[in-house]
C-alpha cells in the first residue's frame, strides 16, 4: 500500500518534538507539504531543519504560535489559510493529586487540550467541505477511556476530544471530509520519560524505570512496553490518506491493547 499525499497541505500542532514530530515526518515522507507548529520560533526552526535533514525532499514550513490562545490560532490562520490535513496533536499533561487540581488547572487543560483543536477545526473544516476533501484528526489517549487517578484533568480533556471528534464527523457527513480520533497508548517521549520518573525511583536506569512504570501504573498493557512515536505516526498517516476514506467518526486505537475492550 502506497500512501501518496502529494499536493496535500498538512498542519500538525505541537510538532516540534515527540509524537507530533514523528507525525510531521511521516506525512512529509508521504509527499505532503507539512507545517510544523510550536510556541517558540527557535524550537520551530530547529524542528524544521531536523525534518529537512531526516526526510529527503521534505516540503516543510514552520509556524510559531501558542495555539492555547485565540491570538495564536489567528496567527496560524494568517500564515496558513488552507489546510487539507489537520492533526490536532497539541497537548499538555502532568501528575497531580485529584483534590489539588485547581480551577486554573482545569481551565488550562481545557484551553490547550480541547479548545485549541476546536478553534482550528472550526476554521479549516468549511474550506475542506467546500473542496470536497479533508482529513481532521485528534490525538487522544487511553486516558480518555481509562481515567488515570494521578491526572484526572488530563484524562477528562482527552475524553472531551473523543466527543468533539464524533460531533465534527457528523457535521462533515457526506462531504468527503473524514474526522477521527486516534487513541494513543503509553508512548515513549521525552515528556513521558520525565512523567515516568515522577512516579518511580529516579535512580533507576531508563530500561528498569520503564518496566517498573508499566508494571505499577499501566499493568493492563498487552504490549508491555511503551509505544514508540513512529508507531502512532503510522496510523495518522494512513488516516490522512485516500485509502482511509471510509473511516470517519471513529476512535482508532494505537494503544498496545491497553484499553480492555473488544470494541474499537
In this prediction, residue 192 carries a pLDDT of 85
In this prediction, residue 45 carries a pLDDT of 98
Active site residue 154: yes
* Residue ranges in the chain modelled with pLDDT below 50: none
Contact in structure between 155 and 147 (CB atoms under 8 Å): yes
C-alpha cell recorded at residue 46: 530547529
Which DSSP letter does residue 176 get? Answer: T
pTM above threshold 0.85:
yes
**CA dist., res. 227 & res. 262, Å (int):** 20
User: Domain spanning 9-187+227-254: which superfamily?
Assistant: NAD(P)-binding Rossmann-like Domain (3.40.50.720)
Cα Rg of the chain, angstroms? 18
In this prediction, residue 140 carries a pLDDT of 98
Q: CA 23 from chain center: how many Å?
A: 8
Secondary element (H or E) of residue 238:
helix 229-239
Q: Cβ–Cβ contacts within 10 Å for residue 198, how many?
A: 12
Query: Out of 109, 124, 154, 258, which one is annotated catalytic?
Result: 154
In this prediction, residue 10 carries a pLDDT of 98
C-alpha cell recorded at residue 57: 525532499
Q: Name the residue among 261, 252, 190, 185 with its Cα closest to residue 225.
A: 185
**CA dist., res. 211 & res. 107, Å (int):** 33
C-alpha cell recorded at residue 91: 497537548
Amino acid at each position: 500500500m502506497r500512501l501518496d499525499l502529494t499536493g496535500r497541505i498538512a498542519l500538525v500542532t505541537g510538532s516540534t518534538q515527540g509524537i507530533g514530530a514523528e507525525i510531521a515526518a511521516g506525512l512529509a515522507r508521504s509527499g505532503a507539504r507539512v507545517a510544523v507548529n510550536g510556541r517558540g520560533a527557535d524550537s520551530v526552526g530547529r524542528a524544521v531543519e531536523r525534518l529537512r535533514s531526516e526526510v529527503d525532499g521534505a516540503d516543510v514550513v514552520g509556524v510559531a504560535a501558542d495555539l492555547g490562545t485565540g491570538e495564536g490560532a489567528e496567527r496560524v490562520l494568517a500564515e496558513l489559510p488552507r489546510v487539507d490535513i489537520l492533526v490536532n496533536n497539541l497537548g499538555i499533561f502532568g501528575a497531580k493529586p485529584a483534590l489539588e487540581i485547581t480551577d486554573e488547572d482545569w481551565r488550562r487543560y481545557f484551553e490547550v487540550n480541547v479548545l485549541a483543536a476546536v478553534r482550528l477545526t472550526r476554521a479549516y473544516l468549511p474550506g475542506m467541505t467546500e473542496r470536497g476533501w479533508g482529513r481532521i484528526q485528534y490525538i487522544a489517549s487511553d486516558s480518555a477511556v481509562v481515567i488515570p487517578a494521578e491526572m484526572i484533568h488530563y484524562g477528562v480533556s482527552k475524553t472531551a476530544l473523543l466527543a468533539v471528534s464524533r460531533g465534527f464527523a457528523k457535521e462533515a457527513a457526506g462531504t468527503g471530509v473524514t474526522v477521527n480520533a486516534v487513541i494513543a497508548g503509553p508512548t515513549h517521549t521525552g515528556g513521558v520519560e520525565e512523567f515516568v520518573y515522577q512516579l518511580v525511583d529516579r535512580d533507576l536506569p531508563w530500561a528498569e524505570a520503564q518496566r517498573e512504570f508499566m508494571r505499577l501504573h499501566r499493568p493492563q498493557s498487552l504490549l508491555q512496553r511503551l509505544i514508540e512515536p513512529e508507531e502512532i505516526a503510522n496510523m495518522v498517516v494512513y488516516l490522512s490518506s485516500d485509502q482511509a476514506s471510509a473511516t470517519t467518526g471513529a476512535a482508532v486505537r494505537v494503544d498496545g491493547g491497553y484499553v480492555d475492550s473488544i470494541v474499537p
